[in-house]
Structure 1
């Protein structure tokens, strides 16, 4: 078979489809740049068309400018929205969503398997132990929803960095309802795409349906034939103990419902990532470890969150698994640090685990957790906003260079770069900023602890 020739500047990635050419009696490759209206080119998410794939020229531009959100529609590329997607609070929500959907997809698969096992003339009989296991798994899923809801409330509260994105104007106190509606729709569409890509591009319609249900309610989820239909028992298992359907005028989203009825034993979950948990509840300690460990170190605790922390050489530009690279890595059932060979599974909870958790103890926390976050610069955000201009520039004859040519250019350069004293000064400036943020958080926690102790003693002194 004739191989398509690609020069050194083009990546080894083919975007298109193969078809049989009966005239030439051979296979014919049809690139996606010739299929502008093809189904393989776009994927529609909440009414917006995202690129599903890209041709070789687009991939070169993608690598040249490092446009992570290259697949977004061009109407999303406003400065305000791009800045919003790079705020720390928004990244926390996306992180919590990835953890939640990692567990949710496993539970949906469990529900579908149990549906097949119970159907037909050879259906299995459920025992009380099976029902207790389902209740425990449902509670675990509700706990992951609590993490998403807690982080989402930081956004809709409109405080701190989120104040400039709040829908109420500070002086006139008038809500920008229409603008906020489209802003919310765009955020949901991008969140669906991010989670779907992170989950190895599987179960797209399950992710889309659940994402819309979480942030809206079941009233606003479209009735599409691609969506799964669950029975009442399955809905009770997947949607949890706090789900309540009311009139659509007063209906609350499932995320808000999760925070209204938090059991006492689950209260420490609301402090995960803020304070170090001290207690005897193994479930909360496991959730904390799963939440605070960076994606690059998840393999050390044998946990997988989609593609987070996986080596880049195992994936192509579109973050799809490159199976030849996986085969050359010699992974096996015994050696699989990134959960590529091993299938996703649910750990069977112990009998009586929910009752045991109610007897656990929680101690006072002395440690504050703070992650390092480096905000994006104005120049980086503008590069995203000018995506279409950059694409037109390169397609009209702008120079595209690969890694080798850029290294040769840097070696040939006579520039000496910044002085040593400037490098050292910038380093100490960054370190002092990190330590200052840690001290501020620690001081605020100490002040809160002292204030709570003082108020508690004051209230007890009334009865002495």
Structure 2
């Protein structure tokens, strides 16, 4: 769903800004780019990465998927070749799916808990209330664990992320911690934007606050420091119990782990098969694990056919405009009009009646996680080792974004060099 033909001039072809040479070893023509990108392609972008990032909100493309839309509207300062490559890895795709899955459920449960707290004004809590909230908390912790396992793969340089590790594939180089931080900051902000679009452009502040809390802890939550919502203090004890979980490790600043990392060290019953979903072939999955695995790794083109809801993923493109905003659809109830047959009703009454029966269609359904079923009968003699073949992105798609990123980087660095030369001449 990569409708890029209308912007071919802007993105550039696959073989622009370069030349062809004959490779004697391969006995074939090779294309060599003339756009030189400095080794540390993140160095001049520090203020832009850690400062406010504004994504554009209008484009002319006829058709886009979510990732393409976010990359196209992202500031050129963060759209580097490294970021483009990372955004087209299967590990990153699973990470994004896990984020969307988590936040769809998180926002759903946050609304549910707000209603439950209001109901306490007229109802009495029972043991059943605690059991329900305990299950909701456990579900959220499981989904945070899904995000954590993909994030750990990226941090440790595992799987296809190996060559992007800041200490090199073999982890023997000098640590480029600054560059590593800049890369992750860029990736995280892009993924937040993708998640927001996937969830119908709803609750951006909630998504941003919770993402920063999960990955950086509440002490280093930049969004909270900026907005000063004090949202955690405003939560009731029941909301904190469910939404934050019990894996929050309160330590001094220097020794504090992020809540996301705490999920991997939390002392609670965890089905070890969850850690292999999307990557390892597991011979037996419970209904709950299969439900999670489908949303993590199934081709989104099969979502509608299989009745799977994960934000707007897999929905017909005709339901959205070029910026992936929903084209509002309404329906009217025929019951009231049928009951009025044979009766004399004024035109004004009929119009008001029709308006009152307009029902706005919901964009996507709720997540209904199956209850846990500890399958104690299946316990292998050894852990499964066979991996699932990773999904590959469209190579033409990736190369087009690489061409654009390289050209933008070339323009950016030429401006920086020109600015430095002017300063030197002034001195």
| TM-score interval (norm. to shorter) | 0.5 to 0.7
The alpha-carbon deviation at position 286 of structure 1 amounts to: 2.5
Please, which of 362, 371, 378 is the counterpart of residue 378 of structure 2?
362
Contact 1:82 1:385 in 2 (8 A): yes
The alpha-carbon deviation at position 67 of structure 1 amounts to: 6.0
2:97 aligned residue: 95
2:84 aligned residue: 82
2:20 aligned residue: none
- Structure 1: which 5+ runs fail to align? 1-8, 11-43, 331-338, 392-464
The alpha-carbon deviation at position 263 of structure 1 amounts to: 4.3
How far apart in 1 are the matches of 2:390 and 2:361?
28
The alpha-carbon deviation at position 359 of structure 1 amounts to: 6.2
| Counterpart secondary structure, 1:139 | helix
Please, which of 238, 241, 251 is the counterpart of residue 246 of structure 1?
251
- Judging changes above 3 Å, is the alpha-carbon distance between structure 1 residues 348 and 211 closer, same or farther for their aligned structure 2 residues? closer
| Counterpart secondary structure, 2:54 | strand
1:133 aligned residue: 132
1:286 aligned residue: 291
How far apart in 1 are the matches of 2:197 and 2:187?
15
| Counterpart secondary structure, 2:117 | helix
How far apart in 2 are the matches of 1:375 and 1:368?
21
Contact 1:74 1:388 in 2 (8 A): yes
The alpha-carbon deviation at position 133 of structure 1 amounts to: 0.7
- Judging changes above 3 Å, is the alpha-carbon distance between structure 1 residues 200 and 142 closer, same or farther for their aligned structure 2 residues? same
How far apart in 2 are the matches of 1:281 and 1:345?
21
Report the more deviating stretch, 154-163 or 223-232.
223-232
Q: How does 1:120-269 map to 2 (within 5 A)?
A: 123-168=122-167, 173-221=173-221, 222-223=224-225, 224-226=227-229, 228-229=231-232, 230-261=235-266, 263-269=268-274
Q: How does 1:395-434 map to 2 (within 5 A)?
A: none
Q: How does 1:301-450 map to 2 (within 5 A)?
A: 301-323=306-328, 326-327=329-330, 341=362, 344-345=365-366, 347=368, 357-358=373-374, 360-364=376-380, 369-374=388-393, 376=395, 379-385=399-405
| Counterpart secondary structure, 2:53 | strand
- Judging changes above 3 Å, is the alpha-carbon distance between structure 1 residues 373 and 347 closer, same or farther for their aligned structure 2 residues? closer
Contact 2:104 2:367 in 1 (8 A): no
Deviations 1:212-270, CA, capped at 9 Å, x for gaps? 11211111113324563323432221122322211111111122211123645521111
The alpha-carbon deviation at position 193 of structure 1 amounts to: 0.5
Deviations 1:48-82, CA, capped at 9 Å, x for gaps? 3323522xxx415987xx76512101101211122
1:273 aligned residue: 278
1:48 aligned residue: 52
Contact 1:206 1:228 in 2 (8 A): no
How far apart in 2 are the matches of 1:296 and 1:130?
38
- Number of corresponding residues: 327
Contact 1:297 1:309 in 2 (8 A): yes
Q: Which structure ranks higher in relative contact order (CA pairs < 8 Å, sequence separation ≥ 6)?
A: 2
The alpha-carbon deviation at position 202 of structure 1 amounts to: 0.3
Contact 1:149 1:258 in 2 (8 A): yes
How far apart in 2 are the matches of 1:187 and 1:308?
20
Contact 1:46 1:185 in 2 (8 A): yes
- Judging changes above 3 Å, is the alpha-carbon distance between structure 1 residues 289 and 148 closer, same or farther for their aligned structure 2 residues? same
Q: CA RMSD in A?
A: 3.6
The alpha-carbon deviation at position 327 of structure 1 amounts to: 4.9
Task: Say whether residues 1:59 and 2:60 are aligned partners.
Answer: yes
How far apart in 1 are the matches of 2:61 and 2:188?
28
How far apart in 2 are the matches of 1:387 and 1:227?
43
Deviations 1:60-105, CA, capped at 9 Å, x for gaps? 5987xx7651210110121112212212211211111111111111
- Judging changes above 3 Å, is the alpha-carbon distance between structure 1 residues 112 and 343 closer, same or farther for their aligned structure 2 residues? farther
| Counterpart secondary structure, 1:59 | coil
Contact 1:86 1:376 in 2 (8 A): no
How far apart in 2 are the matches of 1:227 and 1:384?
41
Find runs of 4+ consecutive structure 1 residues off by over 6 angstroms. none
